Amino acid sequence: MTRAELAIDPVDLARRLLGCVVESRSEQGVVRLRLAEVEAYRGLDDPASHCYRGRTPRNEVMWGPAGHLYVYFVYGMHFCANIVGLTDGQPGAVLLRAGEVVEGAELARLRRPTARGRGEVARGPAVLTSVLGLDRAHNGADLTDPESSVRLFAADPVPEDRIATGPRVGVAAAMDIPWRFWLAGSPAVSTYRRGGRVRARANG
């Protein structure tokens, strides 16, 4: 995808990214996955965002430009990947939470031998990130660069009635903001309740 296509409000970008394909190439091979679940983190007034308390070395990439990867380390052992959207003076990105593996299931399984889904799906942001083989070395990677080892490919926009929404997962703040989006009925999106905090409903 082009930078212009990605330089939009992160909440709109989250919806736009559903169905799009992320490709990761390495010496091990190629994994491509179709995004099925994402979350938007936008602006200085979003208490769940890493940027809520201002610009720091960690969140630097979130301040733009659009189309770059923001990869962060969490819980002492996992990485999560985001795609930066329009910043326009405000930081913003979309967390990649789940996807269907459309190519490289064998490699995906090799990278996550114990993950649910047996390599055909990547459920959860840390699983998705490791299935793509991404870590801190990929922080800041340009997804719009044809030479990049990580790229993003557009899909036809998903019809509104195929998109479900709900509160973001694992955040204590802003539980009332429904900035989690997923493909209704996708096998990559777990219906498993996490800590009784997940509440959502498909629109169609």
**Residues making contact with DNA (CB under 7 A):** 39, 41, 48-51, 53-54, 56-59, 62, 70, 73-78, 80, 82, 93, 95, 112, 114-116, 123-128, 168-172, 192-193, 195-196
User: Could you tell me the smallest distance in angstroms from the CB atom of residue 4 to DNA?
Assistant: 22
Six-digit token pair at 143?
A: 């997804």
Cα distances (Å, whole numbers) of residue 177 to 20, 99, 165, 188, 199: 24, 22, 10, 23, 12
User: Could you tell me the smallest distance in angstroms from the CB atom of residue 185 to DNA?
Assistant: 16
Q: Is 117 helix (H, G, I), strand (E, B) or coil?
A: coil
Q: Which is nearer to DNA, 82 or 148 (CB)?
A: 82
With tokens 């890493």, the residue in question is 50
Q: Which is nearer to DNA, 58 or 161 (CB)?
A: 58
User: Could you tell me the smallest distance in angstroms from the CB atom of residue 58 to DNA?
Assistant: 4
Q: Which is nearer to DNA, 49 or 90 (CB)?
A: 49
Q: Smallest Cα–Cα separation from 4: which of 158, 140, 139, 144? A: 144
- E strands within 27-112? 29-42, 69-74, 78-84, 92-103
Q: Which is nearer to DNA, 123 or 151 (CB)?
A: 123
Q: Which is nearer to DNA, 93 or 146 (CB)?
A: 93
Q: Which is nearer to DNA, 78 or 162 (CB)?
A: 78
Q: What is the largest CA-CA distance in the chain?
A: 43
User: Could you tell me the smallest distance in angstroms from the CB atom of residue 146 to DNA?
Assistant: 26
Burial grade of 114 (CB within 10 A; 0-12, 13-18, 19 or more): exposed
Six-digit token pair at 57?
A: 């070395």
Determine phi and psi for 106, rounding to 5 degrees.
Answer: -65, -45
User: Could you tell me the smallest distance in angstroms from the CB atom of residue 175 to DNA?
Assistant: 12
Six-digit token pair at 162?
A: 């195929």
User: Could you tell me the smallest distance in angstroms from the CB atom of residue 147 to DNA?
Assistant: 26
Rounded Cα–Cα distance for residues 123 and 143 (Å) = 22
